[in-house]
Structure formats: C-alpha cells, structure tokens
Amino acid sequence: MSASCTDDQRPVFLITHEFYPKRGGIATFTEEIARATAKLGYNVEVWAQSAPEQAAKEDWPFQLRRLPLKGSHDLGCQIQLARELIRRRRDLRHATVYLPEPGPMLAMMLLQFFHAFRPHRLVLTFHGSEILKFTSSPVRRALARRLIQHATRISTLTHFTRDLLLSHFPEAREKIFLTPGALRSDFAVVPPRRTARKDKTVVLTVGRLHPRKGQLETLQALQLLPAATRAKLEYWIVGGQSRNGYEAALREAAAKRPDLTVRFFGNIPDDELSDVYERADIFAMTSVNLETSIEGFGLVYIEAAAHGLPVVAHDVGGVSEAVVDGVTGLLVPPHRPVQLAAAFEKLIHDPDLRRRLGDSGRAFAQRNCWKQSAAALFSPEDAVI
C-alpha cells in the first residue's frame, strides 16, 4: 500500500467476537457501526466469530470474514485470534483496526509489545463491564493501560461509561469520544401503534435470560400487585441463552402466583420482534449490577421507545441515558421491589400516561445517528468531530 494513503482511504478492519447471528446490544452495535462506516465510504472488512454459512444478510455493505473461533473470552480463544492477527499482520499494519468489544482487545493485549503487529490506527470502544474486569487483575490492568496508550481513538456509548473509564484509565482522556447507540436499521421506520381493545395489559421484557437483566425483579414486582390487577396482566419474557438455571428459577417463581400469566417466548427472530413490541403495552428491563457486570447503556430500551412503549427500568449504570425518567419512562432505584411495583401499577392504571411517555419515546429514539458515531470513530485526525 502506498505510503501516501490518507486515513480516510485506508481499510477498516472491525474485529469482534459479538456479531450476527449472536444476539445482544454489543452485536447490534458492531453491525450498525460496520454498516454506517461502509456507507461513509470506508472499505470495511468485519472479522467475526464462526457461524453457520447462511448467517449473513444480503444488504450488508461490507465484507465479512468468519474466523475459526467460537468467540469466547477464554485464553484459548485469545490465542486463536492472535494467530489470525499474526497471519494478516501486513494488511493490518497499514490499516485502521477497530476493536468494538473486549474479546479482541484481550487478544491484542498479547501482541501489543511487538511493533510489527501494531496497526496504523487502533480504535477501541468500551461498554462498561470490561472496564471493571480489566481492573480486577493487576496484570490485565497494566495490559489494558498499555493498549489504551497505543490507541488512536477511544469511544464509549454513554457519559457514565466514559467517566468510569477515565476513573480507572485517565490516560484515555485526550482521545475519548462519545459514540451513542442509535435505533437499529430494521427499526428505522416504525408505524404508529394500533389501539385495539385488549382484555389484558402486557408487560414485555426482551433480553437474554440472565440475572443481570432483572427478569426476576420484574416478575416479583408484578406479583406484589393486588390480585385484581394481576388477573388483568400478562408478563411476556422474550430471550434465551439462560445460564445457571436462571430460566428454571423464573418458571418456579411464576408458578407461585398462577393468577399472573407469564409467557416464555424464547429467542424470536429479529423480523418478528416488531410485532411483539406492537402487542405489548409496557416495556420493562430492570437490570441490576452484579459484581463486575454492569449495564452500560441498553439499546433495547431505544427499540422499545421507538415502538411507542413506556419503559420501566432500574436506575443503574448508564440506563438513565437510555430512559429519561418521567419523559420516556419511569426509573426506580434497584432492590426496591415495592417502589418498582408502584411504578408498574401507575402505568397499568393510567393509559394516558402510557401514551404520553410512549409518544415522547418515539422522538427520543430518533435523536442519535449511527453515521455520526462512525464519523467520530474514523474521521481523519485533523477533522472536526
């Protein structure tokens, strides 16, 4: 490659362990940033974890290369990815390498001491939990600090995560930018909500079945409501990837109050999610912080808001930057089940409030743009961001 190649002409290699068909906020973020970067005119190649051959979308404007690794954070996976980086080192040396999540950061930490493996530009995005995990080990903390020092540009989705990063790694201060999450492409146009009469009010949660996502907290709060209210409710739980018996614990808890209907939908294809949002009345994801696992933002709150749903959430991590209390939803301190039940009861009995919060949420969900976040990540150094 010519030495005169400018930064905006160099290829961008986006390397991730979290990509379609994997579900979740980080997977959505990486896909949307790849789309937006390609649409800005960059030559984008995504390196992602292995997946079935048919796991691709026809409208992707970037190249996709599947790597022979499962995409975990264990040492074996890090070594496999490091080998792939070594094989392609000549391409990476003259390119922009973007690591949008912790998996590939761990692999790059193993190689950063060798100058031959350093890319022309290194761009990192932090989401929250990985900051605490990196600082929990003195060795990993030192490696993360060195990686941040080598980075050209660093981003976070929220002010909360930015402040958390700077509190542990102040050397990031001169190179950090916000790249807010936005509404994903397939939800860019959401039709107005239908107003069909229903016998029951539906509370919906969409997210992987994990204690941090708070499905059990939502269920227990709904079970605190008066019997007459419970009888007119349904709680819909969409999501899979349950670990450590969490789904079994949810089902056991649901069985204790059979007058509250609880439906488990499992994973639903993306093209069917809009219909589920449309049939719901209230969205709830009452995330809690668990040890080093925190909620840095939550793109699913934006999806729900775009569908006109008022949101009930715990005020933890960066959630308050995705849900505006009293404007797009109701925020409740974590571990306050009575307060949480009161928030649900308020929305259940006040359809006008639900409508106002939902209408505000639609506008709020459109406020950010993936192209602006991509430009903040990859624009030339002398550009105004």
Q: Which of 190, 133, 132, 179 is nearest to 155 (CA)?
A: 179
Cα-based distances in Å from 182 to 14, 62, 71, 241, 364: 19, 19, 25, 24, 10
Q: What is the pLDDT of residue 232?
A: 94
Q: What is the pLDDT of residue 199?
A: 86
Question: What is the tens place of the pLDDT at every residue in 231-259?
Answer: 999 999 999 877 789 999 999 999 999 99
Question: What is the tens place of the pLDDT at every residue in 9-33?
Answer: 679 999 999 999 998 899 999 999 9
Question: What is the tens place of the pLDDT at every residue in 296-334?
Answer: 999 999 999 999 999 999 999 999 999 999 999 999 999
Helix extents (H) in 8-150? 25-39, 75-87, 89-93, 102-111, 129-135, 138-150
Average of per-residue pLDDT across 178-189: 87
Q: What is the pLDDT of residue 73?
A: 82
Q: What is the pLDDT of residue 384?
A: 43
* Most confident residue range from 179-193, 268-282, 286-300, 333-347: 333-347
Q: What is the CA 110 to chain-centroid distance, rounded?
A: 26
CB 289 within 8 A of CB 334: yes
In angstroms, the CA 334 to CA 326 distance is 17
User: Residue 5 pLDDT > 60, yes or no?
Assistant: no
Q: What is the pLDDT of residue 6?
A: 55
Least confident range from 13-22, 54-63, 135-144, 355-364: namely 54-63
User: Residue 229 pLDDT > 90, yes or no?
Assistant: yes
Q: What percent of the chain is modeled with pLDDT above 70?
A: 94
User: Residue 116 pLDDT > 80, yes or no?
Assistant: no
Helix extents (H) in 96-198? 102-111, 129-135, 138-150, 159-168
In angstroms, the CA 385 to CA 373 distance is 10
Lay out the sheet containing 233-238: strands in order across.
261-266, 233-238, 201-206, 282-285, 311-314, 329-332
CB 310 within 8 A of CB 353: yes
Q: Which of 54, 51, 52, 59 is nearest to 17 (CA)?
A: 51
23 Cβ neighbours under 8 A, 6+ residues apart: 208, 239, 240, 241, 267
The H or E element spanning position 255 is helix 246-255
Question: What is the tens place of the pLDDT at every residue in 61-91?
Answer: 999 999 998 888 888 888 899 999 999 888 8
Q: Which domains occur in the chain, in start order?
A: 12-182+368-378 (3.40.50.2000), 189-365 (3.40.50.2000)
Q: What percent of the chain is modeled with pLDDT above 90?
A: 76
Q: What is the pLDDT of residue 2?
A: 39
